Amino acid sequence: MMYYSRLRLLGVAGICLIGVLLCLPNFLRSPAPSMPWRQIHLGLDLRGGSYLLLQLDLKSLEHDRLQSLQDQARQTLLDHSLGYRDFVRDDVTASLSFAPRSDAERDAALKAMQSLPPVVPNEFATSEKDGRIVLTLQHEAMLARAREAVAQSIEIVRRRIDATGAIDPSIAREGDDRIVVELPGVSDPERIKSLLGTTARLTFRLLAPNPSVASPGSTMLEDESVHTQVAVQDHVDVDGTDLTNAGAVIDQQSGGWAVTFQLNSAGATAFANVTRANVGKRFAIVLDNKVIEAPNIISPITAGNGQITGGFDARSASDLALLLRAGALPAPLSVMEQRTIGPSLGAASIHAGVISLLTGLLLVIVFMVLFYGRFGLYADVALFANLILMVAILSLFQATLTLPGMAGMLLTLGMAVDANILINERIREEVKRGRAPLQALQAGFDRATGTIIDSNATAFLAHVMLFVFGTGPVRNFALTITIGIVTTLFTTLLLSRLLVVRWYALARPKELPV
């Protein structure tokens, strides 16, 4: 029948009321911090700010692990007093191989390799090939390690950004090896970019016996304090992961800036052992494969703290201290994409979006009244409810709204009245065929419903695809349209129908205004 049950009436009215209530937090201040106050967030294009897409260098992660595994393997062979020849590291196949000193020692060497502790389960496979022993990193395990590394990087990126005082940053994983950073209100991301672009891996290593030439087990690195190349041993004596604190200070002796650090007990012990055994030798402080300085060890350092003086100024000293406190990234991060929107452009975009939305809405409303009279007016009421419901759903999910998102809302409103047009045209046809008003209404609504669902389903599919494959603002556009299609079905199939039915029940017209 054409009469809505009271329950249905209350249901529709209830949903509209809830919609209005959900919209309110966007326009009012939260009365108390404890109240759930869900609002739509403005996108960076409206609010102004910076967007950075960072990529973690997984290759270098693999390279580092291979190097440390080689270190471990050598040490283990040494501990078991097993000899080896021709130890090769191959980054392309992600493997290590060496030849045992003699066939007699082969089984013992293989066993020693199998006993090496893996960082993740099944990290590497040990095998024998052409008389050589081969250790190969496993792809699956490396993927697991990469996932872990991205999660770890996100944490460190967050700490570094928080330390700069940026307000409301958003840091999220994207894909396998990428991190998206959004910084509202930051219109000059240069400092944050350079902070994130530094791996900040601090190591303390001895120089090679002859620091001017590379020998097995050492690598030539740039010494930044004197701008020459020095050979530094690959073996890491103390690692930055053992740091507990760091700070920028003014050096008492030179009057320049320096960075002090404090090691935990394990680090302090290792530091004490190395400095005790190597008094008089040079000890390199290496940051990201560059030697900051390589002072002589004058006396053993047992307290577990020290100072780095490497030609810093106030800014670089405090940045380094910040980086050391936040911890090193597991692998280098590089910026792949950067977008910055200044605050004035953001404000102009909000203005443009709101003006367009209001003008568009007004044009559609006027057109509908002219084209359909009273039923057009009902369609306009439904249209207004549609806008409220869209805002309500976006607020409920605390979604982000961008300029393309606002365009999506407006186009949804343009498309939404299509359902009303279909219904009204159908009713009109039924009237022309000589049906009585009630039957014409009934037939009009019933027949148009199938068409409305079919036509919205295709648009829905197209925009779901856009949401799946799109990125950034385009995704937001697809989101608002997809939400809009759902709210459209509600407002046209339930709300505007309800309005027409109520009007009919009250007015009992002899003919329909179509």
Partner 1 sequence: MLSRPLFRFVRDDRRINFMRGRHMGLIVSAVLSIASVILFFQPGLKLGLDFRGGIIVEAQTPGPADFGKLRAALDHAGIHPDAVQAFGSPRDVRISINAPEGADREAQTQKLVDGVKSAISTAEPGTQVLRADAVGASVSSELFRDGLLALGFSLAMILIYIWVRFEREFAISAVVTLILDLTKTIGFLAITRFEFDLVMVAALLTILGYSTNDKVVVYDRIRENLRKYRTMPLRELLDLSINETLNRTLGTSMTVFLAALPLALFGGSTLTGFATVMLFGIVVGTSSSIFIAAPLLLLMGEKRLRKETDAG
- Which of 241, 471 has the CB closer to partner 1? 471
> Cβ(263)–Cβ(241) under 8 Å?
no
Is 60 a binder of partner 1 (CB under 8 A)?
no
- Which of 250, 465 has the CB closer to partner 1? 465
Among positions 190, 222, 313, 446, the unique one binding partner 1 when judged by CB under 8 A: 190
Residues in contact with partner 1, shown as a per-residue x/- string from 371 to 410 under the rule CB under 8 A: xxxx-xx-------------------------xx--x--x
> What tokens were used for 287?
């940051």
Is 461 a binder of partner 1 (CB under 8 A)?
yes
238-239 and 202-206: which strand pairing?
A: antiparallel
Task: Name the nearest CA neighbour of 418 among 466, 385, 390, 451.
Answer: 451
Burial of 250 (0-12, 13-18, 19+ CB in 10 A): exposed
Q: What are phi and psi of 255, to 5 degrees?
A: 80, 0
Least distance (Å) between residue 186 CB and partner 1: 12
Going by the DSSP 8-state scheme, the letter that residue 492 receives in this structure is: I
Is 486 a binder of partner 1 (CB under 8 A)?
no
Stretch that binds partner 1, among 116-124, 129-137, 198-206, 453-461 (CB under 8 A): 453-461
Return the beta strands (E) in 264-421 as ranges. Answer: 283-287, 290-293, 305-312, 333-341, 400-401
Residues in contact with partner 1, shown as a per-residue x/- string from 130 to 169 under the rule CB under 8 A: ----------------------------------------
Q: Which of residues 466-485 bind partner 1 (CB under 8 A)?
A: 466, 468-474, 477-478, 481
The total of other beta-carbon atoms located within 10 Å of residue 403's CB is 21
Q: Which of residues 17-56 bind partner 1 (CB under 8 A)?
A: 45, 53
Report how many residues bind partner 1 under the rule CB under 8 A: 80
Q: Which residue has the tokens 């990290």?
A: 123
- Which of 37, 371 has the CB closer to partner 1? 371
Q: Which of residues 253-282 bind partner 1 (CB under 8 A)?
A: none
Going by the DSSP 8-state scheme, the letter that residue 457 receives in this structure is: H
Going by the DSSP 8-state scheme, the letter that residue 281 receives in this structure is: S
> Cβ(150)–Cβ(56) under 8 Å?
yes
- Which of 256, 513 has the CB closer to partner 1? 513
Rg (CA), the chain: 34
Collapsing DSSP to helix, strand or coil, 19 comes out as helix
Least distance (Å) between residue 323 CB and partner 1: 19
Q: Which of residues 70-129 bind partner 1 (CB under 8 A)?
A: none
Burial of 115 (0-12, 13-18, 19+ CB in 10 A): exposed
Q: Which of residues 406-435 bind partner 1 (CB under 8 A)?
A: 407, 410-411, 413-415, 417-418, 421-422, 425, 428-429, 432
Is 503 a binder of partner 1 (CB under 8 A)?
no
Q: Which of residues 331-360 bind partner 1 (CB under 8 A)?
A: 334-342, 344-345, 348-349, 352-353, 355-357, 359-360
Structural element, H or E, at residue 477: helix 472-490
Among positions 13, 172, 363, 505, the unique one binding partner 1 when judged by CB under 8 A: 363
> What tokens were used for 427?
């009713």
